[in-house]
Amino acid sequence: METLGVRLDTRTKRGLEIISKVMKMSPSKWIAGLIAENLPKAIEEVKSEIICSYVRGEISKEELREVFGDDAEDIEFVAEKTKEDFKKAERTR
């Protein structure tokens, strides 16, 4: 298990305490569940941005594979081929 420190404003923290009291679990456990439930959807929404970051060289092949799994192979191929096409367009013009 990893620990992620998150700063919350007083109102949010108080709300979280009330929720955890009702749910009968610790605030951090409730938040961890919420993140686990919503992270895949959030990642899905930013996948396009992750691909752009990979093409711009801001994230590594390994990071790409961690997010996309088996799909990373196609993304790597498309990125390489697209770079070739970009150079080809320059030569063709």
Site residues, other proteins (CB under 8 A)? 44, 47-48, 51-57, 71, 74-75, 77-79, 81-86, 88-90, 92-93
Output helix, strand, coil percentages for the chain, rounded to the nearest 5: 80, 0, 20
Six token digits for residue 49: 């941005």
Six token digits for residue 60: 């590594």
Closest contact distance (angstroms) between CB of 63 and other proteins is 14
Closest contact distance (angstroms) between CB of 87 and other proteins is 9
Looking at the Cβ atoms of 3 and 92, the one nearer to other proteins is 92
